[in-house]
Structure 1
């Protein structure tokens, strides 16, 4: 049957996803990841209580995921392309800039366990020392983005069951901006979960476009 390129391309605007809002949630490492993020109607389920939101994040830089792969190619005499290529490293990072000054953002920025810190009962003053010895604090991370409307949202999920802060952007005190700093977290494979990064989609809006994504349902 004759056809044209537009039909072959299978172009669908509804499959162009754009996270219009996003939130980053962190919990102590080993905190279980939910078995599902939405119910049968597509409504978002609450996360376990240990997952705390970092709150508002910088709009310009948003939430950035980067993946760096290192390979070791084997070259053979007389061949223009490698005869073999093996991946030796696959690292995923999560970068965002929390804007709120709260226990979570302070703990991330200073690598200090604020569970042991208490504000002065009379003055409300908080004072704590940043650790002088090197130490790595691991977290479990869930990032949720939303496209579409509140009535028919499309949720995008990323789960990183074991992460640690690997780069601090540093803060700058100026009268034209808030006090915040960009943080980079590196993902590691969690032996219990069996992976370093997982991806998911859900919501009432997602249910409407699912049949066009090429992903089969459990009943098929």
Structure 2
């Protein structure tokens, strides 16, 4: 074997350290088709289907969090110090963020109410609605887009969850120093039409410029 050193073996590439400097969460009614491509041949970001609506501003400190939790069932054998078999029995991914804007979408997410039939009073503009007493799970299709770099050569990071539902509410805290909002946790479920629960993607001109360093094979033209 040829002589080398640790610096060479490490193959450190600082340009591959990605950091989403901005991000947006988009939700649509469940079964809304996800775009086949998020960027065009030049790397420019494409518009999403009109059904996907942004939740708007989200809390900066907590950002957007993705968590994955697996449950394993191990088999131990007499005389063996390690498990002799291990099976994954569940694989759950969650999406967590805190929407800051008060609008129909965020109100539906945080209260489980359906505001499609709710109207503001014609004279006062007052809105009043009851939180459901008979709970029914509402599913959505979710797309999360993050951007690193600048607008001239952006690197986009995509997460697609074709079937999600709110499974945890952090609750509201009214104080004079905090916006009226609450953190939400959405759980991803496998969508039979899409064939998956979570998908990942990268794109943009900045990503295209780095592609040859990532080790990912490029399709033949």
| Same fold? TM cut 0.5 | yes
Q: SS at the partner of 1:108?
A: helix
Instruction: Spell out, residue by residue over 1:60-104, the C-alpha distance to the aligned partner (whole angstroms, 9 max, x if none).
Output: 000000000000000000001111000000000000000000111
Match of 1:111 in 2: 112
TM-score, L = length of structure 2: 0.98
Match of 1:26 in 2: 27
Q: Map 1:1-220 to 2 at 5 A.
A: 1-219=2-220
> Distance in 2 between the 1:45 and 1:105 partners?
24
Post-superposition shift, 1:2?
Answer: 2.3
> Distance in 2 between the 1:9 and 1:115 partners?
56
Post-superposition shift, 1:34?
Answer: 0.3
Q: SS at the partner of 1:93?
A: strand
> Distance in 1 between the 2:194 and 2:115 partners?
27
Post-superposition shift, 1:113?
Answer: 1.0
> Distance in 2 between the 1:124 and 1:147 partners?
41
TM-score, L = length of structure 1: 0.99
> Distance in 2 between the 1:32 and 1:121 partners?
36
> Distance in 1 between the 2:44 and 2:113 partners?
36
Instruction: Spell out, residue by residue over 1:39-63, the C-alpha distance to the aligned partner (whole angstroms, 9 max, x if none).
Output: 0000000000000000000000000
> Distance in 2 between the 1:149 and 1:33 partners?
25
Runs of 4 or more off by more than 2 Å in structure 1? none
> Distance in 2 between the 1:178 and 1:140 partners?
26
Instruction: Spell out, residue by residue over 1:131-156, the C-alpha distance to the aligned partner (whole angstroms, 9 max, x if none).
Output: 00021000000000000011000000
Task: Please report the RMSD computed on the Cα atoms of aligned residues, expressed in angstroms.
Answer: 0.8
List alignment gaps of at least 5 residues for structure 2.
Answer: none
> Distance in 2 between the 1:217 and 1:3 partners?
29
| Aligned length in residues | 220
> Distance in 1 between the 2:38 and 2:84 partners?
44
